Amino acid sequence: MKYQVAYIPIGVPTFHLESARIEFDKSIRMISSITEDGVYPDKMLLSMDDLCSFLDTINPGLIILQNITFANAAYASEVLKRFGCPVLLWTLREPVIDGGRLRLNSLTGAFSAGNALCAFRDGEFEYVFGSPEEDAVAASVKAAVTAAKIKHQLRCLKMASIGHTPQGFGFGRALDAELMQAFGVTLDSIEARELIDKARSYTDEECASCLEEARSMMVGLDQTPENNVRDFARLYKAYKDYVADNHIGALSSRCWPDFFTSFGTPVCSVLAMLNALGIAASCESDVYGALSMYIGTQMTDKATFFGDPVSMDETEGTITFWHCGMAACTLARTDTGARVGVHPNRKIGPVMDFGCRACDQVTVFRVGRKADGTFRFFIASGQALDRPKQFCGTSVVVKTDHDARDIIAKSVKSGWEPHFVVIYGNVAEELAMLAHMLGMEVCVY
């Protein structure tokens, strides 16, 4: 079903309609500049009949409920009884304060609408105050549009869990019913050996295009033993075909020990290639890690980094995130490119072996699951520094906006999982709104 952003400007005709029309036109222009998914009424909705007529024509994924003038709670209640999608309540700034007539009285209307929203939604709605031409207002509207679209997409997302979590890594394990209930996501499960067996069945000729694709993105693949290069290409084709044939949007994959002991070649670079193609792929069978990667990728149209926090420097205020070698090739520093190496523990390749590129604004993120089964979002902002690889494998050094030592201490004591996602972009507001829309706790560090 197509995602719609419905602009619903409610009011009454007893206020200054010339001022209201100016705000109406500016609001439509601003929303249209943010999204192509907007649906708009032909006129301001200044009666219940006008409101109901417009509501009959829409099926929104997000409602932008704006008090174009004052409107009593009956207007908001009519909207809420019809639709269960997220709502952004927008109050307009009074255009003129000159000792004369109150032009809009949007703010009083917002209190009426907010009261109704709390009655219907228990406070689960977003709110913004200001005029359409204000940058902060446009940013909040854009964040709400993005968050609601991700919520909509999650209901269409099909994930795959390839193999089981290793012992002691149960934090990443997910139940299909749990994912469906909390996020609307469908989860398929398959044993790792099924894809290993499929990879073994391919000929070199069948894998030639996959190998050529990898060579175009990786640096130094020819330094890997030829049998491992061939097996990597076979495994990449098996994963890529499985993703395409089953319409998989994100996946978590078992990695050790099976791909070393049973196949002889790691899966790390396969996951790196998938991530570079926009298919969020985590290792160590971390389903919630893959879900976090998917959300970050959809919000930025860029690959995300998945890894462990392995080092902290309180003097410079940095946290280093690292993993064995499955970062997207597109995240590599330009001076090295997506270099290939061997797994730091098993000494078998190919795995990715590079430092990630710098970025002025990043967001550290995790969909976490608490001991009681409820979900929460970890959100921290910072910048990715221009640093070479810190250890064998792939790494990124993040200078956090808040005290790194405090973030580490609090997140450890709060029981967060050891896998985090570094999103290349500042999407903290979007993530917080998405958590609200899903009814989940927001933890900002």
pLDDT exceeds cutoff 90 at 135? yes
* Whether residue 97 is found in the same domain as residue 239: no
Domain that includes residue 369, residue range: 157-444
DSSP string, 231-247: HHHHHHHHHHHHHHHHT
| Range 419-425 average pLDDT | 98
Strands (E), 163-207: 186-190
* Whether residue 323 is found in the same domain as residue 356: yes
* Whether residue 166 is found in the same domain as residue 109: no
pLDDT exceeds cutoff 80 at 5? yes
What DSSP character marks residue 359? E
pLDDT exceeds cutoff 80 at 328? yes
For residue 226, the model assigns a pLDDT of 96
Nearest to 308 by CA among 192, 441, 408, 163: 408
Question: Is residue 79 helix, strand or coil?
Answer: helix
* Whether residue 45 is found in the same domain as residue 125: yes
* Whether residue 140 is found in the same domain as residue 180: no
* Whether residue 128 is found in the same domain as residue 171: no
* Whether residue 350 is found in the same domain as residue 430: yes
Strands (E), 385-429: 394-400, 420-423
Of 155, 183, 207, the domain-final residue: 155
Domain count of the fold of the chain: 2
Residue 66 sits in a domain of what CATH number? 3.40.50.10940
DSSP string, 135-160: HHHHHHHHHHHHHHHHHHHHTT-EEE
Q: Give, in degrees to the nearest 5, the angle at Cα 375 between 369 and 380.
A: 85
What DSSP character marks residue 93? P
Angstrom distance (rounded) from CA 360 to CA 214 = 29
Strands 38-39 and 5-10: parallel
For residue 121, the model assigns a pLDDT of 79
Of 137, 155, 173, the domain-final residue: 155
* Whether residue 203 is found in the same domain as residue 314: yes
What DSSP character marks residue 78? H
Angstrom distance (rounded) from CA 423 to CA 321 = 12
Overall residue count recorded for the chain in this entry: 445
For the chain, percent of residues with pLDDT exceeding 70: 100
Residues 191-200 have pLDDT tens digits of: 999 999 999 9
* Whether residue 210 is found in the same domain as residue 148: no
* Whether residue 99 is found in the same domain as residue 120: yes
Residues 10-37 have pLDDT tens digits of: 999 999 999 999 999 999 999 999 999 9
Residue 302 sits in a domain of what CATH number? 3.20.14
Of 101, 126, 155, the domain-final residue: 155
pTM above 0.85, yes or no: yes
* Whether residue 165 is found in the same domain as residue 90: no
Work out the number of other CB atoms within 10 angstroms of the CB of residue 61: 21
* Whether residue 167 is found in the same domain as residue 101: no
